Chains A and B, each alone.
Chain A
Amino acid sequence: MTVLEFDHITKIYNVRGAGQIRALDDVSFTLRSGQTIGLVGQSGSGKSTIAKILTQLETPTSGEVRLDGAPIPRHGTALRRYRQQLRMVFQDPFASLNPYHSIRYHIERPLRLDDVVPKAQTEAEVRRLLERVRLDPDAVMERRPHELSGGQRQRIAIARALASRPAILVADEPVSMLDVSIRLGVLNLLAELQRDEGLGVLYITHDLATARHFSDEIIVLNQGRVVEHGTADEVILTPQDPYTRELRAASPDPESFFASAARDLGGAP
């Protein structure tokens, strides 16, 4: 059982000309194995700053991140071991894979770097991981990213993240660049992997609908502050904070839209 604690984190950026910007203001949450937390908010709300702090790409101005009670190491092998525990899936599968390298290379690298399996078993492990994300190893292994579709590429990114056998997965808008019709497939894959491997997942998104269906809990961020935190259904169906209500009202919701006669958008003039 892995526990990730994000404990009273504040992050202040000094921006030339604009003075100090409080990107995060006293944010706390706890993520456990097997749990999914949805992190929602609009652009600039601080979602990505949280991801950057979790991966130690940024250091918090105050507060502490702990994995199983131990603070994030600042550098060296200890930091690498920490990052092996916590992996990311990025938004853009077109940019997050290296166009010069084969799919095999993308998955092999973390296996080698983190010494996950003995060298002789590398190929078998690459195959296992590709099968895990429902790709045919023989069909994709020697290909390059541009030969695959967006959905396939995102599956590669997931396989790569899983290669180091992490306990926590941070998924920053993992499906927003994909077609609506395949988003659900990728989310279902993530949900299944999470169940089987007991992963803790931090799902960062501005899409309230997928956040609700994919998460156990939802945290709503506005200008670096947590304005609401509760179970997914509570937060989306009965939002308490005005900002959450605003977000909800702005999200497309055909169900309620066609149920109500008042249409403020489109329609005949």
Chain B
Amino acid sequence: MNEPLLSVRDFSVVYDVDPPVEAVSHVTLELQRGEVLGLAGESGCGKTTLAYGVQRLLKAPAVITSGSVVFHDASGDDVDLGALDAEQMRRFRWDKVSMVFQGAMNALNPVAPIGSQLEDVFEVHRPRMSARQRRAEVAELLEIVKVGAQRARSFPHELSGGMRQRVMIAMALALRPQLMVMDEPTTALDVLVQREILRQISQLRHEFGFSVIFITHDLPLLLEISDRIAIMREGEIVELDTAERIWTDPQNDYTKTLLSSFPRLTGERGVVAR
């Protein structure tokens, strides 16, 4: 499976405040088609800025100061994301690359039924679709993520946190994108619900073949679900390797620190001095 989907070269983002902050510093990475890439690091390390930056979702004072991002479309075209104009970029987003946002549980509109929020995606990106078709697509999506088509008329507050998160995944899946960027998608959920959602993401990925960039500071979780993991610190990727090698043979000192900073479920006692 060596077919690149996204090539990021020498990518930098600076927050142009006083003094300027280089949030992402000369990042180069290649995402493979169908791969789950974990992006790990502490708050403020630049992982979210990087993920937003490659899709050009950042607002001033953030400035992309160097680098290029090329999306290798399934059609065979290479799309240089830096060269698209506003309208081309609008069409590109969500169609090819979608996102499940941080705090997605609260990202839904509280005064609109979830069905109509899902229909919005088709209204904007598939303007020729009939209302009947849209409703059918939404019903299918809600079935795929196991929320159930009959919940289309529910409001967000009538759903549990886990179900709201599934609705967000359904929304990200709507246009069958080739890449889904997930920013802390399960952080607010309890372990059982978290595990269920991860299973579902994995299933959908096998079924639809999209790649995932999974952003979190929860390294134990990332180790279990990623093919490869990039460890970020102060805007740089300090180590990038397969999950297994990050776990068994970390090269960078910071990676080692991160690995030793979480208590192991079944490991030796004594990490908390008692």
Contact = CB atoms under 8 A, between A and B. Distances in A.
Interface of A: 36, 42-43, 149-150, 179-184, 187-188, 191-192, 195, 206-210, 212-214, 233, 236-237, 246-258, 263-269
Given A210-B272, A251-B265, A258-B248, 6 more contacts: A183-B262, A184-B272, A191-B272, A213-B263, A214-B263, A253-B224
A180 B218 contact: yes
Nearest to A246: B192
7 tightest A-B contacts by CB? A252-B220, A250-B195, A266-B225, A42-B190, A253-B265, A213-B263, A254-B223
A252 B218 contact: yes
A148 to B, nearest CB: 13
A268 B227 CA distance: 7
Contacts of B243: 266
Nearest to B254: A181
Interface string B235-266: 00000000110011000000001100111111
Interface in B22-67: 34, 36, 42-43
A181 B261 contact: yes
Given A42-B191, A181-B217, A258-B247, A266 B224 contact: yes
A181 B266 contact: no
B124 to A, nearest CB: 31
A180 B263 CA distance: 10
Interface in B114-151: none
A181 B42 contact: yes
B43 A179 contact: yes
Nearest to B219: A180
A266 B272 contact: no
Nearest to A211: B263
Contact of B263 (A192, A212, A248, A264): A212
Nearest to B1: A268
A187 B272 contact: yes
A256 B270 CA distance: 19
B41 to A, nearest CB: 9
Interface stretch (B68-76, B78-86, B174-182, B199-207): B199-207
Contacts of B274: 36, 191, 195, 214
A250 to B, nearest CB: 4
Contacts of B191: 42, 206-208, 247, 250-251
Interface residues of B, number: 48
Contacts of B266: 236-237, 253, 255-256
- Chain A interface SS verdict (over half): helix
Contacts, number: 132
B193 interface: yes
25 contacts: A42-B193, A179-B217, A180-B217, A184-B262, A184-B271, A187-B263, A191-B272, A191-B274, A206-B191, A209-B220, A209-B262, A213-B263, A214-B263, A252-B221, A252-B224, A253-B220, A253-B266, A254-B220, A258-B247, A264-B202, A265-B199, A265-B224, A265-B225, A268-B1, A268-B227
A38 to B, nearest CB: 11
B257 A181 contact: yes
A237 B258 CA distance: 24
B193 A213 contact: no
A50 B217 CA distance: 30
A207 B43 CA distance: 20
Contacts of A248: 265
B7 interface: no
Contacts of A184: 261-263, 271-272
A266 B36 contact: yes
B113 interface: no
A267 B35 CA distance: 8
A224 to B, nearest CB: 15
B19 interface: no
B159 interface: no
A43 B225 CA distance: 23
B198 interface: yes
A209 B202 contact: no
A253 B202 CA distance: 18
Contacts of A210: 263, 272
A88 B248 CA distance: 39
Contact of B227 (A42, A252, A267): A267
A96 B199 CA distance: 34
